[in-house]
Amino acid sequence: MISDNVHAITENTNIEMDNSEGISQLYNAVKHSIRRYLYELDGTQPHDMYDLVLKQVEQPLLEAILEHTKGNQSKAAEYLGLNRGTLRKKLRAYNLHK
């Protein structure tokens, strides 16, 4: 699954989000995971890739940001560029609310 590939790659990569090298590593990890997923389909045509990728990336993103902010939703919303209400809606959708 895409999330497993992203998780494995990012666990093995020291991603520094405060510099362009870290952003490039994240970009490359996601791109590699998508390519691998498509390869593993072995000719089967994918459907709804956009939604699939967003769902697979959004939840771990929310989890990581919440861990980083020690559960501070206001700070997490600020980091994500979302308003708190939108963040809370997303947290409920992924059953990450407390």
Q: What is the pLDDT at residue 47?
A: 93
Could you tell me the two tokens for 30?
């996601």
Same domain, 51 and 94: yes
pTM: 0.71
Residue among 67, 46, 43, 65 at smallest CA distance from 2 = 46
Q: How far apart are CA 49 and CA 38, in angstroms?
A: 10
How far is Cα 40 from Cα 85, in angstroms, rounded to an integer?
38
Over 60: is that where the pLDDT of 79 sits? yes
**Rounded distance between C-alpha atoms, residue 72 and residue 15, angstroms:** 22
Q: How far is residue 51's CA from residue 67's CA, in Å, rounded to a whole number?
A: 24
Flag whether pLDDT at 75 surpasses 90: yes
70 and 37 together in one domain = no
Give the domain CATH number at 90.
1.10.10.60
Q: Could you tell me if 63 and 28 lie in one domain?
A: no
Residues 52 and 41 in one domain: no
Mean pLDDT of 73-82: 98
Cβ-contact 33, 5 below 8 angstroms: yes
Task: Output the pLDDT for position 3.
Answer: 53
Considering the chain, what is the average pLDDT of its residues?
Answer: 86
- The string of pLDDT tens digits covering residues 12-59 is 444 444 578 888 999 999 999 999 999 999 999 999 999 999 999 999
Number of domains, the chain: 2
